[in-house]
Amino acid sequence: MLVGRAAVSTVFSRCRAYSTKHIPRPVPVLPDASLETFRRDAFEPATPVLLPRQTFSQLPAIKKWFSSEPDEVVTLNRSYLARFGSIIVPLEISNDGKFARLEQSLSFFLECVNASSSTYQVQPSRYFNAYVPGARAIKRTTKSNDFFSAATITPPTARVYLAQAPINDLPQALKDDLPVPEIVMKAGKGDVYDSSIWIGQAPTYTPLHRDPNPNLFVQLAGTKVVRLFRPNEGKAIFAKVQETIGGSASATMRGEEMMQGAEKTALEGEVWDDEIGSNRVGWEARLSRGDALFIPQGWWHSIKGTGDGMTGSVNWWFR
């Protein structure tokens, strides 16, 4: 347990003094989830922390949006979410190294998730041919109504990720499932800069980047691992990658280049391959349902959804 700002600072100073080159250090955990503790030990000193485990386990979205039993794979509660199927959400689709962003209905996303967990496809053309980059054709035999790929009968290779969908764009009922935490409303300037949800089937991946505002990241379902770097260390990693690939991308304005090709591969290696010979010093946090991570302004971070089944997250940016 940590006691006060001094204890948190001590943990980080020890990490700097004794850390090996490549193994990330664990993010400290606050002793309690009170506003006073959070403001003193995390928000004001701009220090990454985990709130006590399962602090947000009672968020309505956790039980309403996801269906899971102990020791079972997490699935979406499609019957509940389908009520809001007409809303438009942003999607990221990746397939065999190719990437595309688009906006589609929530119903479309639910169909994709269902198809990605099934071997046979009923209407593959609805998203394979029209929306999935690099999709392979699906054929039907004369002996069966089942669809399958030209090679072997396998689930689709495409990954569809509902990424960074603003909560304010959701119907009121879904907004009510994600009430703004008190620490977000009161630790900063009294309101929320922005917020978003992230839902997808593991594995999911968000490349190394930084946010212009402090961030409270809460896990709703599944497991995610977050690796973090101080502003100067993250900037150095980014600069090294640009030099390695001969790129000239801006660290501030990030686009689709970080989701595919040479930059994605190089960034992922620098952040997640502990055998790469760099002098980086990073921290790591593993989040399960109800866990929350505070990411200070300017800290670089990359996130991976691990395991099987669905992962879901929500984040609020402080003003």
Q: Let me know: does 312 contact 217? Beta carbons within 8 Å.
A: no
The per-residue pLDDT for 18 is 47
CA distance 317 to 294: 10
The per-residue pLDDT for 130 is 53
CA distance 29 to 252: 29
In terms of pLDDT, which residue wins out, 119 or 29?
29
270's tokens = 């620098």
The per-residue pLDDT for 13 is 52
In terms of pLDDT, which residue wins out, 8 or 77?
77
For 35, phi then psi, to 5°, come to: -60, -40
Q: Let me know: does 199 contact 162? Beta carbons within 8 Å.
A: yes
261's tokens = 């090709």
Given 1.10.3720.10, 3.40.1580.10, 3.30.1180.20, 2.60.120.650, which CATH number is that of 4-61+170-318? 2.60.120.650
Q: What is the mean pLDDT of the chain?
A: 83
Q: Let me know: does 24 contact 290? Beta carbons within 8 Å.
A: no
Nearest to 102 by CA among 94, 110, 92: 92
Domain boundaries, the chain: 4-61+170-318, 88-160
CA distance 157 to 93: 10
Q: Residue 117: pLDDT band by 50, 70, 90 thresholds?
A: low
Nearest to 139 by CA among 126, 152, 131, 148: 148
Q: Let me know: does 319 contact 188? Beta carbons within 8 Å.
A: yes
Nearest to 38 by CA among 24, 25, 55, 26: 55
Q: Is the pLDDT of residue 36 over 90?
A: yes
Q: Is the pLDDT of residue 269 over 80?
A: yes
Cβ within 8 Å of residue 185, ≥6 positions away:
191, 192
Cβ within 8 Å of residue 245, ≥6 positions away:
262, 263, 266
Amino acid sitting at position 93: I
The per-residue pLDDT for 7 is 56
Q: Let me know: does 79 contact 108? Beta carbons within 8 Å.
A: no
pLDDT in tens, 146-181: 333 434 445 556 789 999 999 999 999 999 999 999
When pLDDT is averaged across residues 271-286 and rounded to a whole number, the result is 84
When pLDDT is averaged across residues 114-118 and rounded to a whole number, the result is 71
pLDDT in tens, 58-96: 999 999 999 877 678 899 999 999 999 999 999 999 887
Q: Let me know: does 61 contact 181? Beta carbons within 8 Å.
A: no
In 109-235, DSSP assigns E strands to 138-140, 147-149, 159-166, 192-201, 204-210, 215-221, 223-229
Nearest to 5 by CA among 54, 52, 35, 38: 38
| pTM score of the predicted model | 0.82
Q: Residue 11: pLDDT band by 50, 70, 90 thresholds?
A: low
SS3 at position 247: coil
Q: Residue 129: pLDDT band by 50, 70, 90 thresholds?
A: very low
The angle formed by the CA atoms of residues 299, 301 and 245, to the nearest 5 degrees, is 105
The per-residue pLDDT for 23 is 83
CA distance 303 to 163: 12
What percent of the chain has pLDDT above 90?
60
As a whole number of Å, the end-to-end CA separation of the chain is: 29
In terms of pLDDT, which residue wins out, 10 or 76?
76
The per-residue pLDDT for 70 is 65
pLDDT in tens, 87-111: 999 999 988 778 889 999 999 999 9
pLDDT in tens, 173-213: 999 999 999 999 999 887 888 999 999 999 999 999 999 89
